[in-house]
Amino acid sequence: MEGKIVSFRRSIKRQQKYQMIVKVNGVENKDKAISLLNKKVTWKSPAGKEIHGVVTNTHGNSGALRVQFEKGLPGQSVGKIVSFS
């Protein structure tokens, strides 16, 4: 299963560097997104390093997920693909 990083989790004045918002292919509502809680997520950098994270919660009603990573992801990761395991 794959998803796309949409954005950092943020408010008006701050952004959380360890948390990203991920949109998963085939998940269009909150009920389907709830089934993905506590799944492991992996982002692979162009250099080959892997950064792991965990789905912590849903984000909104359209099926987006909040993912907390062990390290902060770079800005170049926005729009890239993550894999679920």
Contact between 65 and 57 under an 8 Å Cβ cutoff? The reply is yes
Q: What are the tokens at 37? A: 């809680």
Q: How many CB atoms lie within 10 A of CB 69?
A: 19
Q: Band of the pLDDT at 4, cuts 50, 70, 90?
A: very high
**Which CATH number is 61's domain given?**
2.40.10.190
Cβ neighbour number for residue 41 with a 10 Å cutoff: 24
Radius of gyration of the chain (CA): 12
Give me the pLDDT at residue 12, please: 92
Q: H/E element holding 32?
A: helix 30-34
Q: Once rounded to an integer, what is the mean pLDDT over residues 71-85?
A: 92
Number of domains in the chain: 1
How big, in percent rounded to 5, are the helix, strand and coil portions of the chain? 10, 50, 40
Instruction: Tell me the pLDDT tens digit for each residue of 7-65.
Output: 999 899 998 889 999 999 999 999 999 999 999 999 999 999 999 999 999 999 999 99
Please give the residue range of the domain that contains residue 43: 2-84
pLDDT tens digits for range 16-26: 889 999 999 99
